[in-house]
Amino acid sequence: MTGTNMTDTKTDTNADYFAKAEVLSEALPYMRRFTGRTVVVKFGGHAMGDPKLFDLFARDMVLLRQVGIRPIVVHGGGPQIGAMLEKLGIKSEFVDGLRVTDQATIDVVEMVLSGSINKQIVSAINAAGGTGIGISGKDGGLIRAERLKRTTRDPDSNIERIVDLGLVGEPKVISPHVLEAFEDSDVIPVIAPIGTGPDGETLNINADTAAGAIAAATRASRLYMLTDVAGVLGEDGKLISDLTLFEAQSIIETGVITGGMIPKIETCIDAIQSGVDGAAIVDGQVAHTVLVELFTAGGAGTLITRN
């Protein structure tokens, strides 16, 4: 009986190994297609708070670099920033989902993003056998930004006024030469979305926006936006696997999507219009989601392309 169990276990294990080998074989054409190309991955959401998903993400980035693809990681950190501000007794106010940022807040934002979070990702990549290097948008003038303004309209008077968000910025110039220095090495850049303003001030930049701008500046083959949902959902609640630019714009205009998904799709649209081959919104809560989207025919999440 013992021998039978051992044989069955060995047979099952071999079957698993052959299945994995078949997956690798099927991935080969996609590996060849993207070898030497850049992919920009915005890492954020619950995946950053799950130790297992965090480590698997790092391993996936190392795998991409190992097969000749050049990943660039841009990370967020909103929940971690919020927790630190609360711990320090600094109150936050939000306008249209953007944190109003004064000097005390930007000091915490930079400390959390460029410090703890950035180095945690770098350490995970290094532990997985890769070479991660952490930088922020301030390093080498990578992200030069301008202060972001928002307007609101008073419902009673219908008068429009400008809302000052403080030290919140939007990218205006990306200096890709900073990242080009890593192209002929095994380095995986990990970027904190902090930029430099016109007067040398530090500006807090939305990670999605920063990732889109960096993808456009590096002419990336893919921009991946890791979120906490499966992708873009249609009116029937089902996942939309593929969208053209026209279709992506249409579902915004017709109100099929609302809320926080709109700026994500707008970022993808802007990146593609600026030369990125495709942008995908994928579920960061699913292990290996970037690999599945990049290396399989079925893909994962929602892929937006020009045509």
Q: What is the DSSP string of 242-255?
A: EEEHHHHHHHHHTT
10 lies in a domain?
Answer: no
295 lies in a domain?
Answer: yes
Q: What is the pLDDT of residue 156?
A: 66
The answer on 214 and 65 residing in a single domain is: yes
Question: Who's near 218: CB < 8 A, 6+ residues apart?
Answer: 38, 40, 72, 176, 179
What CATH number should be reported for the domain holding residue 73?
3.40.1160.10
Q: Enter the tokens of residue 287.
A: 């292990």
- The answer to whether the CB of 193 falls within 8 A of the CB of 74 is yes
Q: Which one of 218, 233, 260 terminates a domain?
A: 218
The answer on 258 and 135 residing in a single domain is: no
Q: How many domains are contained in the chain?
A: 2
17 lies in a domain?
Answer: no
Mean pLDDT value across the chain: 88
13 lies in a domain?
Answer: no
CA–CA dist 272, 197 (Å, integer)? 26
Nearest C-alpha neighbor of 271 from the set 220, 202, 235, 237: 220
Q: Which one of 196, 218, 240 terminates a domain?
A: 218
The answer on 252 and 271 residing in a single domain is: yes
The answer on 119 and 213 residing in a single domain is: yes
The answer on 211 and 237 residing in a single domain is: no
Q: Which one of 218, 240, 270 terminates a domain?
A: 218
With 50 as the cut, is the pLDDT of residue 236 above it?
yes
Residue 295, Cβ neighbours under 10 Å: how many? 23
16 lies in a domain?
Answer: no
The answer on 213 and 228 residing in a single domain is: no
pLDDT in tens, 45-98: 778 888 999 999 999 999 999 999 999 999 999 889 989 999 999 988 887 777
pLDDT in tens, 186-210: 999 999 999 999 999 999 999 999 9
The answer on 141 and 230 residing in a single domain is: no
The answer on 298 and 166 residing in a single domain is: no
Render 65-78 in DSSP notation, one character per residue. HHTT-EEEEEE--H
Nearest C-alpha neighbor of 224 from the set 34, 41, 30, 71: 41
The answer on 124 and 260 residing in a single domain is: no
Confidence of residue 3 (pLDDT cuts 50, 70, 90): very low
237 lies in a domain?
Answer: yes
With 50 as the cut, is the pLDDT of residue 5 above it?
no
pLDDT in tens, 108-163: 999 999 999 999 999 999 999 999 999 999 999 999 999 988 776 666 666 677 77
CA–CA dist 64, 47 (Å, integer)? 18
Which range marks the domain in which residue 123 is found? 36-218
The answer on 198 and 243 residing in a single domain is: no
279 lies in a domain?
Answer: yes
23 lies in a domain?
Answer: no
The answer on 210 and 228 residing in a single domain is: no
